[in-house]
Amino acid sequence: MCIFCKIANKEIESFVVYEDEKVMAFLDIRPLSKGHTLVIPKEHYENVLEMPSDIAKDLTNAVKIVCEKLKKLGAEGFNIITNVNKVAGQEIMHAHIHVIPRYSEEESKPISFGKPIECDLEEVHKVLKD
């Protein structure tokens, strides 16, 4: 079973931000900004292009809910990104959408998958969990 399937099954702990019957959202362990969240289908698909359209709709709805939650951290914008296949930088072969909140004190450029920031995930989770 892949690591994100294990997270969806609660066999591996994560900082859950949102969950419904089909979808789960949790904090990225190596965040690119404060509140960087991954939104996944609970069912395993290799990437977003493999998902049936009803799941794609559920995932999109969850992304919107997560963005609203991230505004609690002061987020004013978002990079919503998905990587498809290794050639595009996909490391975990279970479909996921990166929701990367952006803040006005940062440079106004699209985020790049460089160095993660130092961030206390537990503190961030406290703000987002309800």
Which of the ranges 53-61, 89-97, 110-118, 121-129 carries the binding residues for Zn ion, by CB under 5 A?
89-97
CA nearest to 48, candidates 84, 81, 98: 84
Residue (of 71, 68, 81, 70) closest to 110 by Cα position: 81
Q: How far is residue 55's CA from residue 72's CA, in Å, rounded to a whole number?
A: 27
How far is CA 29 from its chain centroid? 10
Residue reference for tokens 């702990």: 13
With CB under 6 A as the contact rule, the residue among 5, 51, 92, 111 that binds ligand AMP is: 92
**C-alpha span between 33 and 38 (Å, rounded):** 12
List the interface residues with Zn ion, window 34-53 (CB under 5 A): 44
Partner that binds at residue 29, options ligand AMP, Zn ion, none, CB closer than 5 to 8 Å by kind: ligand AMP
Binding ligand AMP by CB under 6 A: which of 14, 24, 70, 128? 14
90 lies in the binding site for ligand AMP (CB under 6 A): yes
Indicate which residues carry an active-site annotation.
96
In the complex, the residues that contact ligand AMP under the rule CB under 6 A are 3, 12, 14, 26, 28-30, 38, 83, 89-92
